[in-house]
Amino acid sequence: MGNIYFRSQYKKIGSQKTGVEIIINTKIVTRELIEYISQNESPRYISFTDRVEIIDENCFYHLNIDRVSFNSATNIQEIRAGAFKKAVRLHCVDCFEKVNKLDESAFEETQSEDALHLPDITRVPEKCFKNAKFLDIILPNAEQIADSAMEGLQLEKSKSV
């Protein structure tokens, strides 16, 4: 299955809560895994290693975690249905350069201040970015975009869609 590392290096500063950084080193990241970690460790930060290849269905659906970092997760290939639906504070989403499959509602209503670069995506499914907010979305090879894929999408820069 892989390993999960816990680092309690974040200390209370002023009114901020103490928290734990979780480093996930598994092939598939599931909702059950993230919920278990959230219930037992109250993570403020979650990061992933390069072993992660799949973000499973509804994995981060409506979770309120301060930072989800994919800086080291350079081998993610698939983002399943609703994986980041209604996720808030999603950061470092410009690291999905090997993703070649997105499922329906993968980023629906996601709130992010970062750019999303998906160079290997050729098909954008229904509601994939519906009512989402990103700095920018770059889809240089998208050949097929479903009618509702971009409905209500908000971008800081509109040059890339």
CATH label of the domain that carries residue 123: 3.80.10.10
Query: Does some domain include residue 83?
Result: yes
pTM of the predicted protein model: 0.81
Answer yes or no: is 7 within a domain.
Answer: yes
Domain count, the chain: 1
Q: What pLDDT is stored for residue 149 in this prediction?
A: 97
Rounded mean pLDDT, 88-111: 85
How far apart, in Å, are the Cα atoms of 106 and each of 18, 93, 132, 160? 30, 13, 10, 19
- Most confidently modeled range among 30-34, 68-72, 98-102: 98-102
Alpha-carbon distance values, 17 to 10, 45, 134 (Å): 9, 12, 27
For 64-97, the DSSP string reads --SEEE-TT-TT--EE-TTTTTT--SB--GGG-T
Residue 108, domain extent: 2-155
Is 161 inside a domain boundary? no
Identify the band that residue 12 occupies on the pLDDT scale cut at 50, 70 and 90. very low
Q: Per the domain annotation, does 160 fall within a domain?
A: no
For the residues 95-113, what does the mean pLDDT come to? 91
More confident residue, 63 or 82: 82
CA-nearest of 125, 132, 128, 122 to 152 is 132
Contact assessment for residue 14 and residue 37, using Cβ atoms and an 8 Å cutoff: no
Is residue 89 scored above 80 in pLDDT?
no
Q: Which of 3-7, 21-25, 87-91, 127-131 has the highest average model confidence (pLDDT)?
A: 127-131
